[in-house]
Amino acid sequence: MMMMMMMMMLMLVAALGGSLSVPPHEQVARMARFVVNKCEWASMATISTHDPVRGQPFSNAFSISDGPAGNGTGTPYLFLTHLEISVQDLQVNPQSSLSVSLAQTSYCKNHGFDPQSPLCAHIILSGSVVEVNGSEASVAKAALFSRHPEMIDWPTDHNWFFAKMNITQVWVLDYFGGVKTVTPEEYYRATPYRKHSGSDTL
Ligand SMILES: *[C@@H]1O[C@H](CO)[C@@H](O)[C@H](O)[C@H]1NC(C)=O
Ligand SMILES: *[C@@H]1O[C@H](CO)[C@@H](O)[C@H](O)[C@H]1NC(C)=O
Ligand SMILES: *[C@@H]1O[C@H](CO)[C@@H](O)[C@H](O)[C@H]1NC(C)=O
């Protein structure tokens, strides 16, 4: 009985620990890091190399991970194969844009924020997608496979490789007044999960 209660308390603590609070909207670099770490997938836009939309933007969903929930590095890693339509675009032009949104969590629905509302924070990362090798591939594998365990079973004959978004600019829509930009340096300096008071939980 006592043991049971202790277990339940531990589970409750774990659950509360998981409901991390959203940073204040004016701390845009922290907000960007927070949303990127929260989201398990992103829409990736490439410049299409496929007819009949050759040369046009092409957006597609990809699993991402920048590390464990609550302790991400900010670098979104991807697990890709050249058989994939958007990855074929990247072979011609690695420039792309990744967008993530708190609409992908329960936060916006719980607060009555429409996905297009700036109060439902959304982040766009501009840059290029580059393959990673060696020790960074091990980092990418640990980040991705911990949050997407089914990746282990993806067909080996697809020649999967690890890649990352090489971020050149971060765009943050998290409040009224238009988009705010964050440099990669500011983004990587931010500490998304530092304790702060007076804001919402997810
Ligand atoms: C967070 O990740 C870093 C490496 O990126 C690691 O050194 C640290 O121990 C981790 N912290 C927690 C609380 O897991
Ligand atoms: C990783 O390896 C691939 C294939 O061997 C190579 O094309 C690519 O340039 C390498 N990337 C880095 C960052 O070393
Ligand atoms: C990342 O992008 C910057 C700016 O375009 C470039 O100078 C750098 O070489 C890129 N890094 C990699 C690993 O591709």
Give the residue ranges of DSSP H helices in 70-193. Answer: 85-92, 107-111, 134-147, 184-189
Measure 155 CA to ligand 2 centroid, in angstroms: 22
Q: Is residue 99 within 8 Å of 133, Cβ to Cβ?
A: no
Q: What's the burial of 193, exposed, middle or buried (CB within 10 Å: 0-12/13-18/19+)? A: middle
The whole-number pLDDT of residue 196 equals 54
Measure 75 CA to ligand 3 centroid, in angstroms: 13
The answer, yes or no, to whether any atom of ligand 2 lies below 6 A from the CB of 181, is no
CA-nearest residue for atom 8, ligand 1, is 71
Domain limits for position 140: 23-189
Considering its fold, how many domains does the chain have in total? 1
The radius of gyration of the chain from alpha carbons, rounded to an integer in Å, stands at 18
Ligand 1 nearest-atom number relative to CA 71: 1
Look at residue 61 and give its three-state secondary structure.
Answer: strand
Which of 152, 17, 189, 172 lies closest to 99, judged by CA?
172
The answer, yes or no, to whether any atom of ligand 1 lies below 6 A from the CB of 110, is no
Tokens of 153: 């079973």
Domain-located, residue 90 = yes
Q: Walk along the chain (202 residues) in steps of 10 and give the mean pLDDT of each run.
A: 49 44 95 97 98 98 97 97 97 98 96 96 98 97 97 93 98 97 98 67 62
| Amino acid, res. 40 | E
The whole-number pLDDT of residue 195 equals 65
Domain-located, residue 167 = yes
* Ligand 3 pocket at CB < 6 A: 128, 130, 166, 168
Domain-located, residue 114 = yes
